[in-house]
């Protein structure tokens, strides 16, 4: 018998096997690299040990994200974290422009290089795609799961996206809470987070912090060598919100998804994609504020007709309740089940603010000062028991208190050219709200309400669900899309932090999702608060911060309340520019504004929609100065806010059109102004300016300034 395995044949076969193994290994470990259009950013992808996908990011040759792992753990079966080989890669580039329905600029450039990596997991025969989009100002990455036989419906145990940082950066952080962002921001090194976590100021006792070293996004960082880094997410749809666990020994942040009532982190049915994970980076702080990366990672608007979506400047029956001067409820009688209580026989408490006569007073003020709308809270029955035993069914969103005449106020507001803004406080009872939602929106449309402020105060019902879990995130978007059917804009409070969805659904005109002005009546916000929020909360979308408080002593409205507003009056004006929103409230009472009409003129004049935005000065936690050009006009408005240290701001008006003359009105702190000692010390002066003008303006501790600039 002939031996076919001759020595030279065996050697040739072994050589071929080794060569094949080498080629397969090289293919599996193949590294890919792309650069941003301006070549400042470089993204590197590779498969690491055991076929684990990894990436890294550098800026001008400096490390931003060191080698970091990617993947998801599943509740059942093998995870999607290792065992991968690269099946294919592709690159592409996009350079386009689009016009937002409303925004900080008229036109946004969407310019990026994309790398798509198709991975196969041999042991499970599953496929996972990774998309990396590299813009001039940062990175977006997401997971993509095509429809496939071996990956149909899965339960997520945890997402394992890492951000391995290059050092112990300065961080502006909030505790990683499943239910609220309403904290003071803590500023510290990352290595100090663990020790400071328990000292973070909590807004209420019902919060649940997931980890002693967990932090929320957007997370703002500053490296020791002067890089500004922002971590967040974009296009949060049908997925749980992401926070970040910190390994403070290795300075690695890893995604941590909000669980549901059973502890599961989410449910995917293929085909499916995750939200984008975002890294914005620059060596200039102002670039972080000017970035449109999060918006660019969202889909274009879903609506064919957007003519009904209009930015709004409004006043409201709100601050008098927040301060304790007035009440939301009509009666103090409690334990009221909806539909079983005779309000006509109820004893009025005498402090109910949402009564017809009082609302007309706000309508008159809005009409006189060319505002757009009036918000009314506490108009509907149920407030006397919304934390009581009938919480799950306390509101129906269509039944007014006896002293609130819906039809008469509709007629009166329309006669003055004023829109009415509805308020829906759900008290966290989601099924109740969804049962009544269509009737509530129809009621709004029939009675002249073009926008709704919705609220989600308290623990979520069904019990065990959290504000930022997948189920609740789906509800928030459902509310927005249902509202669109009635051409209603939505301003959701206590909802999930924004992730740029206002591009796709532009009737999502505002959110709270942070510690707003109301806390000035609950002990106060830190003086540096508004120098940080634009770098954190506002990265994902506008905030209904409700500025414009001129009476800074809360005791002026409620002698029992000893809080005060941690801001000068001049800075309250600046916030209309620095705290971007197409929904801006003049939050104080009409009678207070009547005392300061010279300062109120800025609120009356300032725009809420813009053609251009320039960040003139910025350092997170210290100061921000921004100039904005009004939509369709030649007017500019400037706002500056600083921390408790105070400073002198130096700006160049080179953004103005050359050769033109402008009239500037400057609303500034006086030299003796101070947010604690003398907050209402302001001065107004007028001067001629041009593109050659340079200004040096004093900002008091906790202060700032505002400027209106009108072409002559």
User: What residues act catalytically?
Assistant: 518
Contact 647, 623 (CB under 8 A): yes
Token pair listed for 110: 């969407």
Contact 139, 57 (CB under 8 A): yes
- Mention every residue, 6+ apart, whose C-beta is less than 8 A from residue 293: 135, 137, 138, 140, 234, 278, 280
Tokens 């809360």, located at residue: 554
Instruction: Provide the b/e sequence for 276-298 (b: ≥16 CB within 10 Å).
Output: bbbbbbbeebbbbbbbbbbbbbb
User: What CA dihedral angle connects 425, 428, 431 and 432, to 10 degrees?
Assistant: -40
State the CB neighbour count (10 A cutoff) for residue 19.
10
Q: Going by DSSP bridges, is the β-strand pair 214-215/242-247 parallel, antiparallel, or unpaired?
A: antiparallel
Asked if the bond preceding 45 is cis, omega within 30° of 0, the reply is no
Which residue, 329, 328, 272, 319, is CA-closest to 563? 319
Which residue, 655, 661, 666, is CA-closest to 615? 655
Q: ∠ CA 569-547-429 to the nearest 5 degrees?
A: 150
Q: Going by DSSP bridges, is the β-strand pair 126-135/108-121 parallel, antiparallel, or unpaired?
A: antiparallel
CA distance 567 to 644: 9
C-alpha to C-alpha distances, 657 to 122, 430, 649, 712, nearest whole angstrom: 62, 51, 22, 12
C-alpha to C-alpha distances, 589 to 165, 167, 512, 559, nearest whole angstrom: 47, 48, 20, 16
User: Backbone phi, then psi, for 703, in 5-degree steps?
Assistant: -120, -155
Given its phi and psi angles, is residue 422 left (phi above 0), alpha (psi -120 to 50 degrees) or beta? beta
CA distance 379 to 404: 6
Residue 357: strand, helix, or coil: helix
Q: ∠ CA 51-55-60 to the nearest 5 degrees?
A: 155
Which residue, 430, 471, 435, 470, is CA-closest to 454? 430
């Amino acid at each position: 018998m002939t031996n076919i395995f001759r020595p030279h044949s065996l050697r040739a076969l072994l050589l071929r096997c080794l060569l094949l193994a080498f080629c397969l290994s090289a293919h599996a470990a193949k590294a890919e690299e792309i650069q941003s259009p301006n070549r400042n950013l470089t993204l590197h992808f590779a498969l690491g040990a055991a076929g684990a996908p990894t990436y890294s990011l550098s800026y001008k040759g400096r490390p931003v994200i060191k080698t970091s792992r990617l993947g998801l753990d599943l509740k059942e079966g093998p995870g999607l974290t290792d065992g991968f080989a690269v099946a294919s890669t592709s690159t592409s580039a996009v350079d386009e422009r689009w016009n937002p329905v409303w925004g900080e600029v008229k036109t946004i450039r969407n310019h990026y290089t994309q790398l798509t990596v198709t991975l196969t997991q041999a042991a499970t025969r599953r496929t996972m795609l990774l998309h990396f989009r590299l813009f001039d100002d940062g990175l977006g990455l997401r997971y993509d799961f095509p429809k496939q036989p071996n990956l149909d419906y899965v339960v997520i145990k945890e997402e394992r996206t890492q951000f391995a940082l290059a050092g112990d950066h300065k961080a502006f952080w909030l505790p990683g809470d499943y239910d609220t962002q309403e904290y003071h921001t803590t500023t510290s090194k990352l290595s100090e987070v663990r020790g400071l976590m328990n000292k973070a100021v909590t807004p209420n006792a019902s919060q649940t912090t997931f980890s002693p070293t967990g932090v929320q996004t957007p997370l703002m960082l500053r490296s020791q060598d002067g890089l500004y880094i922002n971590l967040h997410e974009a296009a949060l749809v049908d997925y749980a919100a992401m926070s970040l666990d910190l390994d403070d020994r290795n300075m690695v942040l890893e995604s941590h998804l909000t669980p549901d009532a059973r502890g599961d982190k989410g449910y995917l049915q293929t085909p499916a994609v995750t939200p984008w994970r975002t890294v914005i980076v620059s060596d200039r702080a102002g670039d972080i504020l000017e970035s449109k990366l999060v918006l660019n990672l969202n889909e274009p608007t879903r609506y064919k007709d957007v003519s009904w979506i209009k930015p709004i400047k409004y006043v409201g029956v709100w601050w008098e309740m927040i301060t304790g001067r007035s009440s939301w409820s009509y009666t103090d009688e409690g334990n009221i089940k909806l539909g079983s209580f005779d309000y006509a026989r109820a004893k009025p408490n005498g402090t109910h603010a949402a009564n017809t006569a009082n609302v007309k007073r706000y309508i008159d003020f809005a009409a006189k000062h060319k505002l757009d709308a009036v918000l009314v809270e506490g108009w509907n029955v149920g407030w006397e028991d919304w934390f009581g035993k009938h919480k799950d069914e306390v509101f129906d969103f269509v039944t007014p208190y006896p002293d609130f005449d819906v039809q008469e106020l509709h007629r009166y507001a329309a006669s003055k050219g004023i829109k009415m803004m509805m308020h829906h406080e759900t008290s966290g009872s989601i099924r109740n709200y969804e049962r009544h939602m269509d009737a509530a929106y129809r009621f709004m449309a029939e009675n002249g309400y073009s926008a709704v402020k919705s609220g989600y105060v308290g623990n979520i019902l069904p019990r065990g669900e959290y504000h930022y879990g997948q189920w609740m995130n789906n509800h928030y978007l459902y509310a927005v899309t249902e509202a669109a059917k009635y051409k209603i804009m939505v301003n959701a409070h206590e909802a999930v932090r924004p992730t740029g969805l206002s591009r796709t659904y532009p009737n999502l005109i505002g959110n709270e999702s942070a510690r707003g002005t109301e806390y000035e009546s609950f002990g106060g916000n830190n003086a540096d608060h508004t120098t940080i929020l634009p770098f954190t909360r506002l990265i994902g979308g506008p905030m209904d911060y409700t500025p414009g408080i001129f009476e800074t002593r809360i005791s002026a409205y409620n002698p029992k309340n000893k809080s005060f507003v941690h801001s000068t009056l001049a800075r309250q004006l600046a916030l209309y520019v620095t705290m971007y929103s197409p929904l801006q409230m003049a939050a104080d009472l009409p009678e207070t504004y009547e005392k300061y009409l010279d300062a109120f003129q800025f609120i009356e004049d300032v725009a809420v929609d813009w053609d251009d935005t320039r960040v003139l000065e910025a350092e997170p936690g210290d100061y921000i100065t921004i100039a904005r050009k009004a939509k369709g006009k030649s007017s500019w408005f400037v706002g500056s806010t600083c921390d408790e240290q105070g400073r002198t701001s130096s700006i160049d008006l080179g953004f103005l059109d050359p050769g033109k003359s402008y009239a500037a009105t400057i609303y500034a702190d006086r030299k003796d102004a101070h947010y604690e000692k003398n907050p209402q010390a302001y001065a107004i002066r007028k001067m001629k300016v041009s593109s050659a003008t340079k200004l040096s303006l004093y900002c008091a501790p906790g202060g700032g300034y505002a400027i209106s600039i009108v072409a002559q």
